[in-house]
Structure 1
Amino acid sequence: MVDLFSSGAPDAPDTGLRPLADRLRPAALAEVVGQEGVLGPDAPLGAMLASGRLGSLILWGPPGVGKTTIARLLAHETDMSFVQISAIFSGVQELKKVFEAAKLRRGNGQGTLLFVDEIHRFNKAQQDSFLPHMEDGTILLVGATTENPSFELNAALLSRAQVVVLMRLEAPALEALLVRAEEVEGQPLPLTEAARAALVEMADGDGRAMLNLAETVLSWKLKTPIDPKALSARLARRAAQYDKSGDAHYNLISALHKSVRGSDPDAALYWLARMLEGGEDPRYLARRITRMAVEDIGLADPQAQTLCLGAWDVYERLGSPEGELALAQAVVYLALAPKSNAAYAGYKAARKLAKDSGSAPPPKHILNAPTGLMKDQGYGDGYAYDHDAEDGFSGQNYFPDGMERPSLYQPVERGFERDLAKRTAYFAKLRAKRQGG
């Protein structure tokens, strides 16, 4: 990926009062780089513009990747009036005014591209208010969101708009932004090579943040380059993007769970640390880690579940930050433990079978008969007491009469389940022998 912002001229005079990020906004879509995956000739927006038919869009991506810039330039490329509102500050009355103005423009032969920032913050009724105006061509809606649209936007709205995913900027793209900033300002950043790399890392994939940081550094008017230590002393590191109730929350817990399942303790520790650094509740992590033990390690290592419960208890007793070490130890243990989801898969299969079989009763021979009437009905008749049987195993049927015997639990040849696999095979052999007899 390359630079989000162009090397072209800004669309307004550089007065020196406008922020650097604003002065470096591209003046045409062709100048926007860093999002080739959506703007290239065969990409969604490139194909739309080439066909001359631009539809409503939802631009989904992290902060500082060009959502507002792209929306503004789409209006310019299509000769539409650009109207921008924020879902944070706009209500029903503001929307009515926007729609009425758009109707007047349409009557005069001009379309309206309505850019709605943070569109996910509108409630269902507000989102629904866009639909008739999108359908009759009063507006072309371009919404911007940092949250997963499938969770935050109405299905009706999503069905009328194409979701376009914008990616965070990687280090080469952010470095290109610094070069552009130096060209516009007419001076190099007073940073050593290592400090320059540290500045790029501080931006954390956000182009706007990158330019704001560069502007701050240039304002110091330093005569000699400074190193990473001096840079860190002057600049606070930008907080990592993390929303405990949003998309990042679900993405990171998924990454942690799959790293454990994939037996990678280093990756698991990294994602655990990312969530803790983002302010995640350690109790939530303790619960999810225990779930991993039940779901992915299972009976391949019965000790795993006990260890996770112990780590949870240690955290409750010690609190943060000391108790978080117990969670880290549990994560490492789970990642290196033998894996089996046989009990989990068997349980899910049993639930499905229970649902499909309805209310089929147990066979009468395994029912208790505390009353004479129940005995007369055959309850308990023919029950074989396993402790009196050879090998302590009767081999009787315990499923409903007429049901074909299923195989729900199928242990794997890993960890402790190797022993359980031998036991299930042993009892299956005895069962066949008893029933055959």
Structure 2
Amino acid sequence: MTSLFESAGLSDGAPLPLAERLRPQTLDDVIGQDHLLGPEGPIGRMLAQDRLSSCILWGPPGVGKTTIARLLAGRAGLEFVALSAVFSGVGDLRKVFDAAKARRETGQGTLLFVDEIHRFNKAQQDGFLPFVEAGTVTLVGATTENPSFELNAALLSRCQVFVLNRLDADALDGLLARAEKELGRALPLTQDARAQLVDFADGDGRYLLTLADEVFAQKAELDAASLSKLLQKRAPVYDKSGEAHYNLISALHKSMRGSDPDAALYWLARMIAGGEDPRYIARRVIRFASEDIGAADPVALMISMEAARSYERLGSPEGELAIAQAVLHCASAPKSNAVYTAWKAALRLAKETGSVAPPKNILNAPTKMMKSLGYGAGYEYDHDSDDGFSGADYWPDEMDRVTLYAPKDAGRERAIAERMARWADLRAAKRGN
């Protein structure tokens, strides 16, 4: 009978991909995750105590989630059963749980590994609970998405969450060294090309070894330029609806607030390179101009608005330059959240005070009846007053004055603060205070 290997044109002895040949055989072989697997790491401590609880492995692609789960099963003496949430449904889960219950009756435990566990809906996630609680399975879920967003609270309360690191340059270079040892020869790369190969992988060990397979097939040594022609740099990991979206916009916002134009420009570029909608970024920059700069530099809001309009007119990539200009202006502008703080305080005060009426002296009196009721009586026209300031009371009769806006000693707000202080003195003098 023809085997699957033969029907595919392969034999049982066909060479395996590097990523499979170098798959770690023990937890000590796993690279880049010592903070979890080392003697002082949480998983390392659990294993040292001969126990293993259900957990969620959260990390980017190609950092060892599946491998760690398989090795944990072997270390704990559990049957390893793997499912992918992308291809599995309720029927598949029911079969797994039935088999695990039967296995348990013979004294054999089960480690159920669920890849992309965040793809299961809430009802499916709830289906794990009784089997995890009863110890029928030890659940190890893998996800690239933030579990606090994607997994329901009931499941999270029964699992520990372990965060796997993106593989750094040293870890990736270590993988290349293992590949060279496995094949018994050096990568045909110059030193610069080797560093470029590591950069191409963008923290993904599996992808790095896939690229290395291509390089090992080359007969002549490659420099950086030749490598760029041969291979494709991995696209940055970015999900416009996931955690990366919120992390990077937060980084952009806080870099502008922290007056670091270079960092702000970098995070802007990361979002654009990741495929973020520039119009979303432009809206956030407009918000920033009001929230974090405000009256300290009113021009920031104008530039941010014009950047958004410029992008609408020009599109990508030309319009992105206008957004970059706005980001640099906002990052280098004087900062003040006084307008933002004053507005929030005013909203709170408005809710607390309800429907109190304005004082009658500042009400219009278009009819005789309204005049007879005192509307507009005693109103002082500020332009006719000394200093163009009447010092009148504009607050409801039932309320004392409340200070909401406190301009800061930054940018143009410095002059506003001085002007408001002078008005306060004039107001006190006119009232004899």
TM-score category (smaller protein)? over 0.9
What's the TM-score, normalizing by structure 1? 0.91
Identity %: 65
What's the TM-score, normalizing by structure 2? 0.92
Relative distance call for 1:199 and 1:407 in structure 2 (3 A) is same
Structure 1 Cα separation of the partners of residues 133 and 355 of structure 2: 50
1:169 corresponds to 2:163: no
Aligned counterpart, 1:113: 111
Relative distance call for 1:299 and 1:105 in structure 2 (3 A) is same
Aligned counterpart, 1:351: 347
Structure 1 Cα separation of the partners of residues 242 and 171 of structure 2: 26
Structure 2 Cα separation of the partners of residues 241 and 29 of structure 1: 26
Aligned counterpart, 1:303: 299
Aligned counterpart, 1:232: 228
Q: Please, which moves more after superposition, 355-364 or 333-342? A: 355-364
Structure 2 portions without partners, runs of 5+: 1-11
1:252-263 matches, cutoff 5 A: 252-263=248-259
User: 2:23 is matched with which residue: 22, 25, 28?
Assistant: 25
Aligned counterpart, 1:275: 271
User: 1:160 is matched with which residue: 151, 158, 161?
Assistant: 158
Counterpart of 1:353 in structure 2: which amino acid?
L
Aligned counterpart, 2:134: 136
* CA deviation map 1:41-98 (0-9, x unaligned): 2222122222333221111110011111111111111111111111111111111111
Structure 2 Cα separation of the partners of residues 95 and 322 of structure 1: 51
1:397 corresponds to 2:393: yes
* CA deviation map 1:198-237 (0-9, x unaligned): 00000100010111111111122x1x42100011111111
SS at match of 2:155: helix
Counterpart of 2:300 in structure 1: which amino acid?
A
Relative distance call for 1:58 and 1:364 in structure 2 (3 A) is farther
User: 1:366 is matched with which residue: 359, 362, 368?
Assistant: 362
User: 1:52 is matched with which residue: 50, 53, 65?
Assistant: 50
1:379, distance to aligned residue in structure 2 (A): 4.5
Counterpart of 1:23 in structure 2: which amino acid?
R
* CA deviation map 1:351-395 (0-9, x unaligned): 222233344443444344555665566554544443444333232
On the 8 A contact 2:188/2:215 being kept in 1, the answer is: yes
CA RMSD of aligned residues (A): 1.9
Structure 2 Cα separation of the partners of residues 211 and 367 of structure 1: 77
Q: Please, which moves more after superposition, 40-49 or 248-257? A: 40-49
Aligned counterpart, 1:99: 97
Counterpart of 1:237 in structure 2: which amino acid?
K
Q: Please, which moves more after superposition, 353-362 or 16-25? A: 353-362
1:430, distance to aligned residue in structure 2 (A): 1.6
Structure 1 Cα separation of the partners of residues 132 and 397 of structure 2: 60
Counterpart of 2:215 in structure 1: which amino acid?
V
* CA deviation map 1:256-302 (0-9, x unaligned): 11121122222222111111111111111211121121111211111
Counterpart of 1:132 in structure 2: which amino acid?
P
1:19-98 matches, cutoff 5 A: 19-98=17-96
1:117, distance to aligned residue in structure 2 (A): 0.7
Structure 1 Cα separation of the partners of residues 352 and 38 of structure 2: 51
Structure 2 Cα separation of the partners of residues 397 and 53 of structure 1: 72
SS at match of 1:346: helix
Structure 2 Cα separation of the partners of residues 348 and 194 of structure 1: 54
* CA deviation map 1:136-164 (0-9, x unaligned): 11121111111111111111111111111
Relative distance call for 1:175 and 1:434 in structure 2 (3 A) is same
SS at match of 1:163: strand
How many pairs were matched up?
A: 422
Relative distance call for 1:378 and 1:113 in structure 2 (3 A) is farther
Structure 1 portions without partners, runs of 5+: 1-13
1:415, distance to aligned residue in structure 2 (A): 1.0
SS at match of 1:225: coil
Aligned counterpart, 1:407: 403
On the 8 A contact 2:51/2:76 being kept in 1, the answer is: no
* CA deviation map 1:1-58 (0-9, x unaligned): xxxxxxxxxxxxx945322111211112222231111112222212222233322111
Aligned counterpart, 2:7: none
Counterpart of 1:270 in structure 2: which amino acid?
Y
On the 8 A contact 2:356/2:398 being kept in 1, the answer is: no
User: 2:120 is matched with which residue: 119, 122, 127?
Assistant: 122
Relative distance call for 1:403 and 1:321 in structure 2 (3 A) is same
Structure 1 Cα separation of the partners of residues 273 and 282 of structure 2: 15
Structure 2 Cα separation of the partners of residues 398 and 218 of structure 1: 80
